[in-house]
Chains A and B, each alone.
Chain A
């Protein structure tokens, strides 16, 4: 088992990916055996091939080991050792590791694994990232030089003009062909981000829509990568969605209807392959069984919503308190507009924050306003005064 080391998993049991790393194949029920046919503790787990690594995750998804593809020889990365009864290969990390595919789809799994490893070794994504970094460093150096040589207003003007031209050229040459675009993708991503920051400075006041422009799931679980295995597809999806939604559901107060969550998730998956509403429902339905700390609940109105017990996590109440501090006081309408949630939910959140002691209400004929709760501090100071 040379080259394999322990690797990090997220709380949801998904792979914590490296920069620029993407999953290309996930295969269930895979056992690893040493080159001299000794059994290992790595039995019937999930084998994942990414653009950078081969990762084996245990069935409970609590621990994982990974080996970098750079450790493979340039040729004969994978050797087929199947017999009619068993699909298996040797992957040539060091003296080689035997990989047994034990699901019913063994032969197909073996093919998918081999193809994914060979494809990743051919593409060498890890090299691209290093190259891009070197390029950026060189660019910075050159710019720095230029700035030192040409200071003053004229220099600034020239520099801005030069950047304008560079951007124009990058856009024109980048979209000349798909291969050009592939080659210049990093530069264009930066330009696109710049445009966003410059042109959208007015700021969308709508949190949910803002979240949609984030691209939070860079390496989405797809049907292709899971080889059409519905069970694996839905479980991986469930883990990925829970990981993605956690933060976002908490910012809107621990509750989001399943439809809103669906839209948000689809817009954040870097893929044109959408998840069907049926698969999405099933994936969310598995949150509880997989113990992902997030669940689907039926609300009083009969509507299904993704729910996180926000009493355990007080960031929602704290955020409202911060908002109230900033605006001196807030109403449900303020929360609704800022957070973009139904008014009923906004009111419920405010009440929750009140119950937790973060906010204090003021009920007048004009309506209900909430202020940051200063009573605690007051109480404390008066006690200290007495002491």
Chain B
């Protein structure tokens, strides 16, 4: 309060009003900026994608510029890897196309691990890749994904394709699944979940075997437990369609 000015009611009210006005203005400015940024970000990423395709070789040849270009891509979230399949890579499975796809596959598996414990159905993986697909990449088929995964075999990093029930499933964590585990997982095929009673009915297992299996799936984060149902149900998110968009 400046000296000589009395803190009257009017002056307090005035003070409050002014502060409110300032806050309003501040909110307006930041809303405006956010709006602008959203639009600018969209322009930025579209153009960046376009340049990544159109000037691929020129960018690759200039190391200093290349570093800056890739740094922009990383910040904006544009995938700079734009190889097309082409005749040769399709026929022989060679070339950057499959390496790039392999990198994207690992990314999806890593990103969805918290929800599926490293078990994801091939179909779900393909649809996740399609969602992430930017304008320039080709439509990914499950055959492409299997080919790309085969390239990763040499790394022996625990990625493998296996059958669970009638479905192909990609496992990305080094857990050894036993026959019991895969049989139990296959039960979830129709409903998306398994329960003790379902295992008892369909596989004719005794209690101990059922509980060991279910506990294993829970401990390895492959199953999610729902206790709100009359009988505890174990949801297998990796084998459900649409689950990879949860994260």
Contacts and interface: CB of A to CB of B under 8 A. Distances in A.
A193 interface: yes
Contacts of B238: none
Interface stretch (A36-44, A234-242, A338-346): A338-346
Interface in B69-115: 69-72, 74-77, 80-83, 96, 99-100, 102-103, 106-107, 110-111, 113-114
Nearest to A279: B154
A271 B50 CA distance: 17
B75 A206 contact: no
Interface stretch (B9-17, B58-66, B200-208): B58-66
Nearest to B69: A185
Contact of B172 (A167, A218, A259, A336): A259
B152 A259 contact: yes
A196 B75 CA distance: 5
A1 interface: no
A309 to B, nearest CB: 20
Contacts of B221: 333, 336, 343
A156 interface: yes
B67 interface: yes
B44 A195 contact: yes
Given A259-B155, A304-B156, A175 B47 contact: yes
Given A123-B64, A218-B67, A262-B106, A213 B75 contact: yes
B155 A277 contact: yes
A206 B110 contact: yes
Given A215-B71, A342-B113, A273 B60 contact: yes
Contacts of B96: 272-274
Interface residues of A, number: 76
B172 A337 contact: no
A164 B70 contact: no
B25 interface: yes
Nearest to B35: A164
A178 B43 CA distance: 16
Question: Which range holds the interface residue count of chain B?
Answer: 35 or more
A219 interface: yes
Interface stretch (B131-139, B173-181, B184-192, B227-235): B173-181
B209 interface: no
Nearest to A193: B75
B141 interface: no
Interface in B16-58: 22, 25, 29, 32-34, 36-38, 40-41, 43-44, 47-48, 50-51, 55-56, 58
A181 B156 contact: no
Given A23-B63, A153-B22, A270-B71, A171 B220 contact: no
Nearest to A225: B63
B106 A281 contact: no
A362 interface: no
Interface stretch (A71-79, A92-100, A295-303, A312-320): A295-303
A189 B71 contact: yes
Contacts of B193: none
15 contacts: A22-B64, A51-B63, A178-B55, A189-B72, A195-B44, A206-B111, A206-B114, A208-B110, A209-B110, A259-B152, A269-B70, A298-B156, A304-B155, A340-B110, A342-B175
Given A192-B76, A262-B157, A267-B107, 6 more contacts: A172-B43, A206-B111, A209-B107, A213-B74, A270-B66, A277-B151
Ranked 7 nearest A-B pairs via Cβ: A259-B157, A263-B106, A22-B63, A270-B70, A192-B75, A301-B174, A303-B174
